[in-house]
Chain A
Amino acid sequence: GKITDKTTKSPLLGVNVVVRGTTNGSISDFDGMYEIRNVNMGDVLVFTSIGYNETEVKVTSSTLNVEMLESTELLDEVVLIGYGSAKKEDLTGSVDVLSSKDFNQGSVVSADQLLTGKMAGVRITSNGGQPDSAPNIRIRGGSSLSANNSPLIVIDGIPVDNTNPAGVGNPLSLINPNDIESFSVLKDASATAIYGSRASNGVIIISTKKGTSGEVKFNFSSDVSVSNVANNIDLMDSKQYVSFISQYHPTFTNLLGVDDPNTTATDNPLTAAIEGRIIGDTDWQDQIFRTAISTNTNFSARANLGGKIPFRGSVGYTNTGGVVKTNDYERVTLSVKLTPTFFDDHLKVSVNAKGLFSDKNSIDEGGALGGALNMDPTKPVFDDSPSNRFGGYYQNTIVDGNRLLLDGQSNPLALLKQRQRPEQVARILGNVELDYKLHALPELRAVVNLGLEASKANIEETFLDNSISTYAFNNVDTDINTNYLFNPGVNYSEDQDITNTTLDAYLVYTKKFEGFVKRFEVQGGYSYQNFKNDGTSVRYKYNEETGIREELINPNNLNNRYYNVLNLQSFFGRTNIDLADQFLVTLSFRADGSSLFTKDNRWGYFPAAAVAWKIGNAGFLEDSNTVNDLKLRLGAGRTGQQDITGAVGYYPSSPLFEIGSSTSQYLSGVNLYSAKAFNPDLTWEKTTTYNVGLDFDLFANSIVSGSVDFYQKETKDLLARTAVPPGQALSDAFVQNVGETESKGFEVNLNIRPISTQDFNLEFNSNVGYNRSEVTSLKDVTRITASESGLPTGTGVSLAYHAVGYQPYSAWVFKQVYDVSGDPISNAFVDVNGDNVINNDDRYYETLRPNWTFGFGLNLNYKNWDLSSSFRGQLGGQVYNARRLTSGWIDKAIPNNSNSLSNVLDFNSDAATTSFVNVQGNIPFSDYFLEDASFLRMENIVIGFRVPNFLKDASLRVYGAANNLFVISDYSGQDPENFNSIDNNFYPRPRVFTLGLNLDF
Chain B
Amino acid sequence: TKDLDTDPLVELTLEELIARDPNAVQGIVSRLYGSFALSGPDGPGSSDISDDAGESPFLRGIVNLQDFTADGIKNRWGDDGLDQLTTTSNWDENNKFFRYLYNRIYYTIPQCNNLLSVLENVDTEGKTEVTSEVRFIRALAYYYLIDTFGKGVLATEENFGSSAPLPEATRAELFAYVESELLAVVETLPDSNDYGRANKAVGNMLLAKLYINAEVYTGTPKYTEALTAIGKVITNGGYTLADNYVSIFSADNNTSSEMIFPLIADAITSQSYGNTTYIINGSSSSETMTLADYGLTDGWGGHRASKGWYGLYGDLETTTDERASLFFTEGHSYEMNDYKTWTDGYPPIKFRNTNALTASTAPTAFSSTDFPLFRLADAYLMYAECAIRTSQNLGEALGYVNQVRERANAEPIDAADLTLDFVLDERGRELNLEGHRRTDLIRFEKFTGSSYVWPWKGGVANGTAIPDTYKLFPIPLQALEANPNLKQNNGY
Find chain B residues with CB under 8 A from A736 CB.
163
Quick one: CB contact mask for A633-668 with B, threshold 8 Å, 1 for yes? 000000000000000001100111111111111111
Jot down 23 A-B pairs with beta carbons below 8 A, ordered by A. A401-B292, A403-B291, A528-B3, A545-B362, A563-B10, A595-B3, A657-B14, A663-B43, A664-B34, A665-B269, A667-B26, A667-B195, A674-B31, A730-B111, A731-B49, A732-B50, A782-B481, A795-B55, A839-B492, A840-B92, A891-B78, A896-B78, A922-B94
Indicate if the CB atoms of A666 and B31 lie closer than 8 Å. yes
Tell me the bound Cα distance from A754 to B194 in angstroms. Answer: 87
Binary flags per residue of B363-389, CB closer than 8 Å to A gives 1, else 0: 111000000000000000000000000
Please tell me if B318 contacts chain A, counting CB pairs below 8 Å: no
Q: Is the CB of B34 within 8 A of A672?
A: yes
Name which of A166-174, A271-279, A306-314, A720-728 contacts chain B.
Answer: A720-728
Instruction: List, in ascending order, chain B residues with CB within 8 A of A660's CB.
Output: 30-31, 34, 41-42
Q: Does B428 lie at the interface of the complex (its beta carbon under 8 Å from any beta carbon of A)?
A: no
CB of B79 closer than 8 Å to a CB of A: yes
Given A401-B293, A544-B362, A726-B152, 20 new contacts (CB under 8 A): A405-B291, A544-B365, A595-B4, A599-B5, A657-B28, A668-B195, A673-B27, A726-B102, A726-B479, A727-B166, A728-B153, A732-B107, A782-B481, A783-B481, A794-B81, A840-B93, A896-B79, A898-B301, A918-B80, A920-B83
| Contact of B362 with A656 in the complex, beta carbons under 8 Å | no
> Is B11 engaged at the interface, CB distance under 8 Å to the other chain?
yes
A87 close to chain B: CB less than 8 A: no
Cβ contacts B76-89/A at 8 Å (1 or 0 each): 11111101100000
Q: How many residues of chain A are within 8 Å of chain B by beta carbon?
A: 93
A664 in contact with B166 (CB, 8 Å):
no
> Which of A142-150, A564-572, A943-951 contacts its partner?
A564-572
CB distance from B146 to the nearest CB of A (A): 14
Q: Report whether over half of chain A's contact residues are helix, strand or loop; otherwise say mixed.
A: loop
* Chain A residues engaging chain B, CB cutoff 8 angstroms: 398-403, 405, 407, 473, 475, 528, 530, 542, 544-545, 557, 561-563, 565-567, 569, 593-595, 599, 602, 650-651, 654-676, 681, 722-733, 736, 780-785, 787, 793-797, 839-840, 891, 896-899, 918-922, 924-925
Interface 9-mer from B17-25, B203-211, B398-406: B17-25
A545 to chain B, nearest CB (A): 5
- Give A659 to B41 CA distance when docked, in angstroms: 7
Bound-state CA distance A796–B93 (Å) is 14
In the complex, B417 has a CB within 8 A of chain A: no
Task: Indicate if B213 sits at the interface (CB-CB under 8 A).
Answer: no
**Are A402 and B152 in contact, CB atoms less than 8 angstroms apart?**
no
Distance in angstroms between the alpha carbons of A249 and B297 in the assembled complex: 29
Q: Contact: A796 with B4, CB < 8 Å?
A: no
Q: Is B285 an interface residue (CB 8 A)?
A: yes
Which of the residues A542, A663, A670, A673 comes within 8 Å of B44, measured between beta carbons? A663
Do A839 and B4 touch across chains, with their CB atoms under 8 A apart? no
B477 at the interface (CB under 8 A from A): yes
**B391 CB contacts on chain A under 8 angstroms:** none
User: Nearest Cβ distance between residue A364 and chain B, in whole angstroms?
Assistant: 15
| Contact indicator A666/B38 (Cβ below 8 Å) | yes
Contact present for B165 and A731 (CB under 8 Å): no
Closest to B76 in A: A896
Structural contact, B286 and A896, CB atoms closer than 8 A:
no
CB distance from A255 to the nearest CB of B (A): 12
- Nearest Cβ distance between residue B292 and chain A, in whole angstroms? 5
Contact check, A725 vs B166: say whether CB atoms are below 8 A apart: yes
CA distance A676 to B17 in the complex (A): 13
Residues of B contacting A663 in the complex (Cβ-Cβ under 8 angstroms): 43-44, 268-271
Contact A796 B99 (CB under 8 A): yes
B110 engages A794 (CB within 8 Å): no
A674-B41, A727-B153, A784-B481 known; A664+B46 contact, CB < 8 A: yes
B293 proximity list for chain A (CB < 8 A): 401
Q: Which residues of B contact A899 (CB under 8 A)?
A: 287
Tell me the residues in window 1-17 of chain B with beta carbons closer than 8 Å to chain A beta carbons: 1, 3-14, 17
Which single member of A545, A675, A728 contacts B28 (CB below 8 Å)? A675
**B328 interfacial by beta-carbon distance below 8 Å:** no
A479 to B153, CA, bound (A): 58
What's the nearest-Cβ distance from chain B to residue A447, in Å? 21
Note all chain B residues with C-beta closer than 8 A to A665: 30, 34, 266, 269-270
Q: In angstroms, how far is the closest chain A Cβ from the Cβ of B421? A: 35
- Complex alpha-carbon distance, A402 and B362, angstroms: 13
> Chain A residues with Cβ under 8 A from B364's Cβ?
544
Residues in B neighbouring A921, C-beta threshold 8 A: 80, 84, 90, 92, 94
Q: Judging by beta carbons under 8 Å apart, are A731 and B6 in contact?
A: no
Interface mask (B160-176 → A, CB under 8 Å = 1, otherwise 0) = 00111110000000000
**Residue B290 is within 8 A (CB to CB) of chain A in the complex:** yes
Residue of B nearest to A729 (CB): B110
Interface pair B1/A569, CB less than 8 Å apart:
yes
Contact with A along B34-74 (1 / 0, CB 8 A): 10011011111010111110011000000000000000000
**Contact (A566, B6) CB under 8 Å given A544-B363, A672-B27, A732-B50:** yes
- Determine if A672 and B41 form an interchain contact, defined as CB atoms under 8 angstroms apart: yes
In the bound complex, residues from chain B placing their C-beta under 8 Å from that of A475 are 362-363
Cα(A681)–Cα(B48), bound, Å? 21
Chain A contacts for B80, CB-based, 8 A? 793-794, 797, 918-921, 924
Instruction: Check A920 against B301 for contact (C-beta < 8 Å).
Output: no
Q: Which residues of the other chain, B, contact A569 by a CB distance below 8 angstroms?
A: 1, 3-4
Asked if A563 contacts B3 (CB within 8 A), the reply is no
Whether B155 is near chain A, meaning CB under 8 Å from some CB there, is: yes
Across the interface, which residues of B come within 8 angstroms of A896, CB to CB? 76-79, 301, 340
Q: Are A726 and B78 CB-contacts (below 8 A) given A593-B4, A665-B30?
A: no
Partner of B11, one of A656, A733, A922: A656
A350 to B236, CA, bound (A): 83
B454-492 interface mask toward A, CB cutoff 8 Å, 1 = contact, 0 = none?
000000000000000000000001110111101000001
Q: Does B447 contact A (CB under 8 A)?
A: no
Say whether A666 contacts B291, CB under 8 Å.
no
Check B308 for interface membership: any CB of A closer than 8 A.
Answer: no
Please, which residues of chain B bring their CB within 8 A of the CB of A650? 6, 8
CA distance in complex: A400, B42 (Å): 31
Q: Tell yes or no: B264 within 8 A of A by CB.
A: yes
CB distance from B51 to the nearest CB of A (A): 5
Q: Using CB atoms, name the residue of chain B closest to A546.
A: B362
Cross-chain contact A658 with B11 (CB below 8 angstroms): yes
Is B43 a contact of A661 with CB atoms below 8 Å?
yes
Give Cα A847 to B205, complex, Å.
Answer: 53
Whether the pair A651, B8 counts as a contact (CB closer than 8 A) is yes
Residues of B within 8 A of A403 (CB): 291-292
Chain A residue numbers with a CB within 8 Å of B30 are 660, 665-667, 670-673
Tell yes or no: B29 within 8 A of A by CB.
yes
CB within 8 Å of A: which B317-357 residues: 340, 342
Contact status of A726 and B49, CB under 8 A, knowing A595-B5, A796-B96: no
With known contacts A475-B363, A732-B50, A840-B477, A561–B10 Cβ distance under 8 A: yes
B144 at the interface (CB under 8 A from A): no
B418 in the interface, Cβ–Cβ < 8 Å? no
Determine if B119 is an interface residue (Cβ-Cβ < 8 Å): no
Cα(A586)–Cα(B11), bound, Å? 45
Measured between alpha carbons, how far is A545 from B360 in the docked complex, in Å? 12
Question: What 6 A-B pairs are tightest by C-beta distance, nearest first?
Answer: A727-B155, A666-B34, A401-B290, A897-B301, A400-B286, A475-B362
Q: Are A667 and B4 in contact (CB under 8 A)?
A: no
Known: A544-B363, A731-B50. A781 touches B484 (CB 8 A): yes
What's the Cα separation between A924 and B269 when bound, in Å? Answer: 38
Within 8 A of A (CB), among B274-323: 285-287, 290-293, 297, 299-302
CB pair B111 A594 closer than 8 Å: no
B482 touches A787 (CB 8 A): no
Closest B residue by C-beta to A398: B286
B286 contacts A405, CB within 8 Å? yes
For A552, give the chain B residue with the smallest CB separation: B43
Contact partner of B361 (CB less than 8 A), chosen from A542, A545, A664, A672, is A545
**B55–A897 CB distance below 8 A:** no
